[in-house]
Amino acid sequence: MKKIKNRDFNFIVGLILAMIVIIPALIGTVWTPYDTEAMNSSLKLAGSSLSHPFGCDNFGRDILSRIMSGSSTTLLIGIGTVFIGAVAGTLIGALTGYYGGLVDDIFMRFNDVMFSFPSLLLALVFVAVMGSGRIQLLLALGLAFIPSYVRIVRAEYVRARNLDYVKSAKLAGASDMRVMFVHILPNILKVLMNSILIGFNNAVLAEAGLSFLGIGVQPPAASLGRMLADSQTYLFNRPGIAIAPGLTLIIMVLGISLVGKSKTITEI
């Protein structure tokens, strides 16, 4: 990603949208306008005002603050999930794809089984096994996302191992590890980068979905999915409570998927 490609509309708009959410979220990890858990009975369900631009929830907690901290939680879980998925997926995919053989067959059978399951459902089963909470959720989603990376990376390695540049590197005496991670890996980064961005979006949506079901991030900690779930009670009289976290989620996902589609990323 040397420089932004000429007039890459998708990249610029995507980046701006993503930053609209990511910058406040990053700030949210260290500072929020109000304590995200502090309650104030006089501000129960208060509408938007100068001091509380998005209003307050049913405990009188500032919604803007909660969105900031909620989206940072979502963001961290997204990054963590992609990290676990991509690192483990790349390792497994590289080893099995490069060496092939019986181990590869067994792994692939197993991977196909996992892959035949929607990742949201897989994560749900993992959470059932491990219990709910931030760390468990991160692990569950990370595990659930490994198979998709394994699949992509393995395919690339299978293709690469017969290519000329790999053969010549081997002839030159490079070790397998070196061939795998120094020679081949940089060449599949483009494919990997794209699936990381898609995976990030899927992880964000899965986190929100699980929290929405009440088995993800636990109160009083804020989470976009949880806020959406709670907002349903007030849909009649204060639909705004649902709109704010919902839009935040959409803007973040939209921004990142635009970046992922942009020429700058796809034509590295």
Partner 1 sequence: MTGIVKKIFSSILTILVVACLVFLAFAVIPGDPAVAKLGTQATPDKLAALRHQMGLDIPVMKRFLVWIAGVIKGDFGTSYSYSMPVTKLIADKLPVTVILTVYSFVIMTALSIFTAILAARRENSVMDRVIQIVTQMIMSIPPFFGGIVITLVFGLTLKLFMPGGYVSYGNNLPRFLGYMFWPALAIALPKSAMAFSLLYTGLVTERKKDYARTAFSRGNSTKDVFYKHLLRNACIPVVTFFGMALADMIAGSIVIEQVFGIPGLGRILLTSIQNRDYPVVEAIIVCIAILVTVSNLLVDILYRVIDPRTAISE
Partner 2 sequence: MKNSKRLFVSALVLLMTAALCGCAGGKAGEGDAITIGIPQDIEDSLDPHTAVAAGTREVLFNVFEGLIKPDSNGDLKPAIASEYVIDDEGKTYTFTLRDGVTFHNGAPVTAEDVIASIKRCADTSNGDPLVAAFSNIASIDKKDDKTVVITLANPDTDFLCNMTTAIIPADNIDNAGTNPIGTGPYMYVSRSPQENIVLKRYDGYWGDKAFIENVTFKIIANPDTIVMNLEGGSIDMFPRVTTAQAEQLSDNFEIKEGTMNLVQALYLNNAVKPFDDVRVRQALCYAIDPKEIMDYAFDGRGSEIGSSMFPTFGKYFMPELNDTYNQDIEKAKALLAEAGYPDGFEFTIKVPSNYTQHVDTAQILKEEFKKIGVTADIELIEWSSWLSDVYSGRDYEGTVIGVDASTLSPRALLGRFVSDAGNNFVNFKSAEYDAAYETAVTSTDDAVQTENYKKCETILATEAANVYIQDPAELVAINKKFTGYEFYPMYAQDISKIKLAK
Interface residue list for partner 1 (CB under 8 A): 109-110, 112-113, 116-121, 124-125, 128-129, 201, 205, 208-209, 212-213, 215, 225, 228, 231-232, 235-236, 239, 242, 246, 249-251, 253-254, 257-258
Nearer to partner 2 (CB atom), residue 128 or residue 163: 128
Nearer to partner 2 (CB atom), residue 6 or residue 41: 41
Rounded CA-CA distance 29/52 in Å is 19
**Min CB(181)–partner 1 separation in Å:** 29
Among 131, 159, 175, 190, binds partner 2 (CB under 8 A): 131
- Contact assessment for residue 11 and residue 258, using Cβ atoms and an 8 Å cutoff: yes
Q: How far are the Cα atoms of 61, 130, 203, 207 from residue 125, in angstroms, in the given order?
A: 32, 9, 16, 14
- Contact assessment for residue 55 and residue 240, using Cβ atoms and an 8 Å cutoff: yes
Please give the residues from 161 up to 180 whose contact with partner 2 meets the rule CB under 8 A.
none
Regarding 235 and contact with partner 2 (CB under 8 A), the answer is yes
Site map for partner 2, 9-48, x if CB under 8 A? ----------------------------xxx-x-------
Q: Which two tokens stand for residue 29?
A: 């990890």
Nearer to partner 2 (CB atom), residue 139 or residue 150: 139
Nearer to partner 1 (CB atom), residue 93 or residue 225: 225
User: Helix, strand or coil for residue 213?
Assistant: coil
Contact stretch for partner 2 (CB under 8 A) within 19-27, 62-70, 125-133, 181-189:
125-133
Question: What is the secondary structure of 74-123 as a DSSP string?
Answer: HHHHHHHHHHHHHHHHHHHHHHHHHH-HHHHHHHHHHHHHHHTS-HHHHH
- Which among 76, 25, 24, 18 is positioned nearest to 256, based on CA atoms? 18
- The label of the residue with tokens 């790349």 reads 90
Among 104, 230, 244, 255, binds partner 2 (CB under 8 A): 230
Rounded CA-CA distance 155/198 in Å is 18
Site map for partner 2, 55-94, x if CB under 8 A? ---xx-----------------------------------
**Min CB(125)–partner 2 separation in Å:** 15
- Contact assessment for residue 259 and residue 8, using Cβ atoms and an 8 Å cutoff: no
